[in-house]
Amino acid sequence: MITEIRKKLADGKASIGCWLTSASPLAAEAMASIGFDWLAVDMEHGAADIESAGNLFAAAERHGAAPFVRLPSADPYFARRLLDAGAQGLIVPVVENADAFMDFARHCHYPPAGRRGVGLSRANQWGDKFDQMVPGFRPFLVPQIETLKGVDEADAIIGLDVTDAVFVGPYDLSASLGNAGDFSGALFREKLETVLAACRGHGKAPGIHQVETDLDLLSGRLQDGFRFVAYGTDLTAMRTALKGFQGIGE
């Protein structure tokens, strides 16, 4: 699955996924079956634990969506457990230093490229696919740039060979600039362009979360140059679809 995503991005195309904040396999299956390239389980702000994450990964896989996870922090040992549970991609929050991210990445690669522990797990079907998964598996790694310090280090982070795409955290970045939720200010746009320019310079796909389930806004993100886009979340999409009933029938 991630091979296809890497090829799509290498060809200059967009890869669109969705964000899962509940721990519902049924919601995961409903989302994955729409045709998203990937489904990211949000373990920073969402409800999933490691056991439920494995069930969500299985639901995504069933419909050809690559199982991704947004980690709660850049904890390499927690990341290893999620990779063993079947995660194929990791979105890592608050990345501010290229050397630190490189060290994290080494924990995600098997020897000799890295130092990930080798064991029998769901990811290799408890040994049945050991020879397929262990020697050459390289997870899709996405650092999040979401602070001023991260923007300052963006070129070095994005330029790493282990970086597959980069993900801007618009809410946290705007908060770092002192105006949370304001994406229209000149300083925010300047910092966003710094990240986009670094992505262009290194041939990496810039990513962002389009929270509102609005296809015109999604098209706008793509026109802005973003090619690795999370479109909506399970719960915000449900609430958006259900809103507006108040007053009807009165």
Domain membership of residue 82 (yes or no) is yes
Going by C-alpha positions, the residue among 163, 186, 162, 166 that lies closest to residue 174 is: 186
Marked catalytic residue, from 45, 63, 109, 209? 45
Q: Yes or no: say if 112 and 61 are a contact pair by the CB < 8 Å rule.
A: no
Domain membership of residue 183 (yes or no) is yes
Structural domain span for residue 216: 2-238
Is 1 exposed, middle or buried, given 0-12, 13-18 or 19+ CB atoms closer than 10 A? Answer: middle
Domain membership of residue 72 (yes or no) is yes
pLDDT by residue (tens digit) across 100-121? 999 999 999 999 999 999 999 9
Domain membership of residue 244 (yes or no) is no
**Cα 152 to Cα 45: distance, rounded to the nearest angstrom:** 25
> Has 45 been annotated as catalytic?
yes
The answer to whether residue 249 scores a pLDDT higher than 80 is no
Domain membership of residue 146 (yes or no) is yes
Share of the chain above pLDDT 70, in %: 100
**What is the rounded average pLDDT for all residues in the chain?**
95
**Cα 205 to Cα 66: distance, rounded to the nearest angstrom:** 17
Domain membership of residue 132 (yes or no) is yes
Domain membership of residue 179 (yes or no) is yes
pLDDT by residue (tens digit) across 194-223? 999 999 999 999 999 999 999 999 999 999
CATH code: domain of residue 168: 3.20.20.60
Could you tell me the pLDDT band of residue 181, with boundaries at 50, 70 and 90? confident
Give the pTM.
Answer: 0.95
pLDDT by residue (tens digit) across 131-156? 887 878 999 999 999 999 999 999 99
Domain membership of residue 150 (yes or no) is yes
pLDDT of residue 183: 87
- Over residues 89-106, mean pLDDT: 98
pLDDT by residue (tens digit) across 46-75? 999 999 999 999 999 999 999 999 999 999
The answer to whether residue 178 scores a pLDDT higher than 80 is yes
- Domains of the chain: total: 1
